[in-house]
Structure 1
Amino acid sequence: MNSTPSPYIGFGLGLRTCYFEEIIATNPKVDWFEIISENYFVAGGKPWHYLSQIKERYPIVMHGVSMSIGSTSDVNFDYLDKLKKTINRVQPLWISDHLCFSSLGDFNSHDLLPMPYTEESLTHLSQRLSIVQDYLERPLILENVSSYLTYQASEMNEWTFLAELHNRTGCQFLLDINNIYVSARNHQFDPNEFLDAIPQSAIAQIHLAGHSDFGSHIIDTHDQPICDAVWELFSKFANSHTPVNTMIERDDNFPDFKEIMAELTHARSLAPSNWKNYEYA
């Protein structure tokens, strides 16, 4: 299954439980919301109660965290069945997960582990992606993960690997600019080289988030404000690319909703005019 371009709908936010009531009460100037897929694998409860109201007002996309598409274990069709049922219920504009592995046999790291960047991995991912997309009957967008180690077996850098995966499969990517910055700092490469190497046709979405800086290394915690360096990377990217759906992601240490909205407003301000939804410009 070849991926088709995702529609451009503007600037979004990660939908988190602590903001449900304020979103419903205030109808904030947000173009779309992204939900964590696995949070909605249950039949009912608080998440569905609020989502049913929010999705009447805003487009919704789905983002998974536990598919482990890069694993060498058998494809988890029980997981895919739950995901497909949730997709059918939510009717998201698109779905995504991470280009990584987190499980191997009965072992689950509960972390997003990077792939070795090899020809063998490209073949493996191409096959797995085809199986997953055929089962779900829709394209799957893959997100680059942050990394804290590299593999001696790797035969190419990450951005060359992503570009080649796109060439072979037509898949699109969710570029997390914070993750690129984290990996660039940890492994001492130029994040602009990464961003410049990914074809425009391969980019479906952007994440902007924060991290924790420990000096010698940084950790992708998504619990801090977006730093100036990540804003600068996004600004340069936006002003050299056609519009890409862009989202503010926060997963812990949640501030007042107005602070998240301020980051969304700042993202809009850094992008050229053709990126803006004029209703909210």
Structure 2
Amino acid sequence: MIQDHAFQQVGVGLRAPHLSQFAAMDPPEVGWLEIHSENYFHPDSPSRHSLNRIAERTPISCHGIGLSLGSADPLDVRHLAQLKRLIDDIAPIAVSDHLSWSSINGQYFNDLLPIPYTEQALHLVCDKIHQVQETLGRQLLLENPSSYLSFSHAAYPEWEFLALVQQRTGCGLLLDLNNIYVSSFNHGFDCATYLAALNPDAVKEIHLAGFTVKSLDEGEIWIDTHSRPVSEPVWQLYRDWVQAHGSVPTLIEWDLDIPPLEVLLGEADKARQILREIHPGGDEHEQRRA
């Protein structure tokens, strides 16, 4: 493995079009890879066998979309057991999921839906995170969502709700800077206000991605599609964060209209260059937070 600190800190999402390329890559051309956990639950699938080979030489992060932590439904114990088996097999460097819900009465939706930021929801999400962390025997990272509507009866703004969940459960934070930027436009809040509410020491991973602008009769809406390069304002949010708090493992997400691998790796190079410019060689503050 390359020992350059900036190289080790930056990863990309491992998606199906690039699976065979990464399986054949030795040494890997990226510091780490993130998978969507549910795609690898079946232990005998071809993709799982490829992942097992990749995990022997490349650090893996497990990013889930199915825990449905904000749902009124109880946790799916079968899903949680499958996740634990995957984690036990590949020993990932991190395990994460979203502050959202995607199931009701046992029916799952192909989306990460927003939750009302109420006291009741706060207790529900915290209880589920405690259960997940106890079952997995490790810390869960919670990702801030992107959203396109809000609830009028919310008791907290999203950033206060997220901070309270982190404080009460001891979970880590997966800070998606693109989600904050997209939601700040859709809801009219200031990114700096959001970021100032979070404990930087709780941030264990950062996501960077691209978004799509959609024009409607009612006006413009920004959608977190993960289908484009990272925008310059999001890069600037990243520069500011690293300047203020040091580096943490950083992921380039690209899930739709997936480009050739060299394009994805080029985005990772941009993140590495920012890290090298701000902290040449990796300073003590960086090493403590890594």
Q: Where does 1:147-226 land on structure 2 (aligned, <5 Å)?
A: 147-215=147-215, 216-226=220-230
For residues 36-56 of structure 1, give each alpha carbon's deviation from its aligned partner in whole angstroms, at most 9, with x where no partner exists. Answer: 100111122321232122112
SS at 2:25 equivalent: helix
Contact persistence 1:243–1:274 (CA under 8 A): no
Q: Paired residue for 1:246, among 242, 247, 250? A: 250
**Residue in 2 that maps onto 1:103:** 103
Deviates more, 1:141-150 or 1:161-170: 161-170
For residues 206-242 of structure 1, give each alpha carbon's deviation from its aligned partner in whole angstroms, at most 9, with x where no partner exists. Answer: 0101111125101111111111111111111111112
In structure 2, how many angstroms separate the alpha carbons of the residues matched to 1:181 and 1:275? 29
Note the C-alpha offset of 1:27. 3.3
In structure 2, how many angstroms separate the alpha carbons of the residues matched to 1:246 and 1:50? 23
Q: Where does 1:82-97 land on structure 2 (aligned, <5 Å)?
A: 82-97=82-97
In structure 2, how many angstroms separate the alpha carbons of the residues matched to 1:13 and 1:46? 21
TM-score (norm 1): 0.91
Amino acid at match of 1:75: L
Note the C-alpha offset of 1:159. 0.8
**Residue in 1 that maps onto 2:265:** 261
In structure 2, how many angstroms separate the alpha carbons of the residues matched to 1:226 and 1:258? 15
Amino acid at match of 1:14: G
Amino acid at match of 1:63: H
Note the C-alpha offset of 1:26. 5.8
Amino acid at match of 1:251: D
In structure 2, how many angstroms separate the alpha carbons of the residues matched to 1:82 and 1:10? 28
Contact persistence 1:176–1:206 (CA under 8 A): yes
Note the C-alpha offset of 1:9. 5.0
**Residue in 2 that maps onto 1:139:** 139
Q: Paired residue for 1:230, among 214, 217, 234? A: 234
In structure 1, how many angstroms separate the alpha carbons of the residues matched to 2:206 and 2:282? 15
**Residue in 1 that maps onto 2:279:** 273
In structure 1, how many angstroms separate the alpha carbons of the residues matched to 2:28 and 2:133? 33
**Residue in 1 that maps onto 2:286:** none
Deviates more, 1:41-50 or 1:150-159: 41-50
In structure 1, how many angstroms separate the alpha carbons of the residues matched to 2:43 and 2:107? 27
Contact persistence 1:242–1:275 (CA under 8 A): no
In angstroms, what is the RMSD of aligned CA positions? 1.8
SS at 2:134 equivalent: helix
Contact persistence 2:8–2:30 (CA under 8 A): no
Deviates more, 1:265-274 or 1:146-155: 265-274
Contact persistence 1:12–1:246 (CA under 8 A): yes
Note the C-alpha offset of 1:20. 2.3
**Residue in 1 that maps onto 2:61:** 61
Determine what percentage of the aligned residue pairs are the same residue: 39
In structure 1, how many angstroms separate the alpha carbons of the residues matched to 2:107 and 2:48? 30
**Residue in 2 that maps onto 1:32:** 32
**Residue in 1 that maps onto 2:49:** 49
- In the alignment, structure 2 segments of 5+ residues that lack a partner are 1-6, 284-290
In structure 2, how many angstroms separate the alpha carbons of the residues matched to 1:75 and 1:52? 27
In structure 1, how many angstroms separate the alpha carbons of the residues matched to 2:165 and 2:9? 26
Contact persistence 1:14–1:34 (CA under 8 A): yes
Note the C-alpha offset of 1:171. 1.3
TM-score (norm 2): 0.88
In structure 1, how many angstroms separate the alpha carbons of the residues matched to 2:264 and 2:282? 18
In structure 2, how many angstroms separate the alpha carbons of the residues matched to 1:233 and 1:168? 27
**1:190 and 1:16, CA in 2 relative to 1: closer, same or farther beyond 3 A?**
same
Note the C-alpha offset of 1:130. 1.0
- In the alignment, structure 1 segments of 5+ residues that lack a partner are 1-7
